[in-house]
Structure 1
């Protein structure tokens, strides 16, 4: 009887010992994996980082990204390989970055456009649900521009013509959700203008189209138009702000002519860098520190000033709050102008109080 009991008990103890050993081994593996993650973050980057620019060459996003990249390389001790992936108001680049591994090796150099993808039914992607901000570099101002030989000397000239002869003038855009479409919504919603629109893949292409006479008017960031204005090729009719800006002090603010636009302001495009939302937090932190150090340099601040942009250099929760505020303003502005496919309420986008 004793012998049978021992025969039964010994295998049970053996099983328990094996299970405990396996658990201990698993804990060790977890610790080793955690250590490996820390080690990989501390040694990041171990290969080139791809910087995906959501617009074509020559626009504000492209200029800022390519100016900043070499400065970031010095800070992070790695290489940034910049690529333009234009199309669908930046949605092609946004989807591309979203589809890459969340390892910090593919970054989105973007503007405000993904804030409107869902209400415009362009894409399911959004900054809020799919990305984390590495840094908000700067914000800027939109300017409404025409060629220097245009018959429209003032914004009032343009608005009156567009109201009296709807859809006769061609307004160049960067597609649904781009800066020009938001400015058009302001004009339509408050002033009753009607333009024919033609989309282009970014500010560079649309300014080239204006220069070539393919379109009559467009709205772009001040940075994308400034050289053309200063060279005498373009005339900027207004800056979309409550007051003139330092970069172009002679250009009137839009509220000088149309005070009713004030309810949408302050509003403007921004330049930022985003990573996939599942990127390890310590890698995002390392990226943020490197980008912020680069943006903080006097050399880059001078670049921003010369481009008519306002230095921001924010990250973390402050950056998240800023992007959310921009989204609320733009989404509801377009919705009230009848330009969105869906209501912002469907996506829990709060309305900004006037």
Structure 2
């Protein structure tokens, strides 16, 4: 009678020992990293610059794969459907915090575990180098005189360009056609080919092209000129009332399945916290017009909640009719 019980206990204890050993050895194989935007964009640049530091800390290889589409929904959904074992990471941007608002998906980053909020970027409204516009004020005036003529690059509903467009329309009117791409990178390629007239972009993606003379900056989404783009006016020169929405910018983070064991979550959080603090990576962020945040735990959650509140209510006040739900209906408090 007791022999089966003893055998069962032995099996259970053996299984627990194996689990403990697996956690102690994590990671014992390559980690898959899904980038929810296309190659060459800001999220891709940040991910590929940070990952070597994490690989060295964890003594493993992180295989990065771009899965763009659906304003990042495809990449995030892929990771959420993988086993919660810590071997599938999402390297994403800010967009999921707006999915329910835009009717794109019924999940946000609240449905994953935040490993690290890496940093926040600045935004520049960029145009081809040979653009007839030298400032955003010039472009805005032309657009108002010629509605629906200019082509603006976009990345889908809830993406950075559409959010900036909503902020502009909250205080003025910018009537343009939107051409949608799978991320900053394809949009920049289209701009260099003369297929679009302008595009709001993260400075992390567009800075080198502007400083290299291949594109020009029409405005930065700030209240003052910035050191990295001398001569590019702050957007408040053309739209003083937009100051109410500033400061604002995109952010990047690393996330893992919500049900990942706590021990593995802690290992990942420690590794990414150390990697983001590396001097070489901090210098990379500064050179690309971004600042490190390096947030984990409660601080990361507070940041996500604050960003969602400011952005969702800005979009609601700008153009409530295009939203599939209101911030109030989703329980998003006013900032």
Give the TM-score normalised by structure 2: 0.94
Aligned to 2:299: 318
Aligned to 1:204: 185
Q: Choose the corresponding residue for 2:264, options 283, 296, 300.
A: 283
Shift of residue 288, structure 1, vs aligned partner: 1.1
Aligned to 2:125: 144
The separation in 1 between residues aligned to 2:24 and 2:220, in whole angstroms, is 45
Bigger mean CA offset, 245-254 vs 232-241:
245-254
Aligned to 1:332: 313
Aligned to 1:58: 40
Q: Deviations over 1:19-72 (max 9, x none)?
A: xx84x7767666554443332222101111000001111001101111111111
Instruction: Give 1:89-108 correspondences, 5 Å limit.
Output: 89-108=71-90
Instruction: Give 1:290-301 correspondences, 5 Å limit.
Output: 290-301=271-282
Q: Deviations over 1:63-121 (max 9, x none)?
A: 11111111111001111000000111111001001111111111000000101111111
Q: Deviations over 1:192-246 (max 9, x none)?
A: 1111111000000001111111111101100111111111111111111232333
Aligned to 1:304: 285
Q: Choose the corresponding residue for 2:69, options 59, 67, 87.
A: 87
Shift of residue 164, structure 1, vs aligned partner: 2.2
SS in 2 for 1:344: coil
Structure 1, unmatched stretches of 5+, are 1-13
1:123 aligns with 2:99: no
Asked if the contact 2:80/2:257 (under 8 Å) is kept, the reply is: yes
Asked if the contact 1:159/1:191 (under 8 Å) is kept, the reply is: no
Structure 2, unmatched stretches of 5+, are none
Asked if the contact 2:135/2:233 (under 8 Å) is kept, the reply is: no
Give the TM-score normalised by structure 1: 0.90
SS in 1 for 2:152: strand
Q: Deviations over 1:259-303 (max 9, x none)?
A: 211111121100111111111111111011111111111111111
C-alpha distance 160-27 of structure 1, shift in aligned 2 (>3 A)? farther
Instruction: Give 1:230-269 correspondences, 5 Å limit.
Output: 230-269=211-250
Q: Choose the corresponding residue for 1:78, options 60, 69, 94.
A: 60
Aligned to 1:346: 329
Q: Highest Rg: 1 or 2?
A: 1
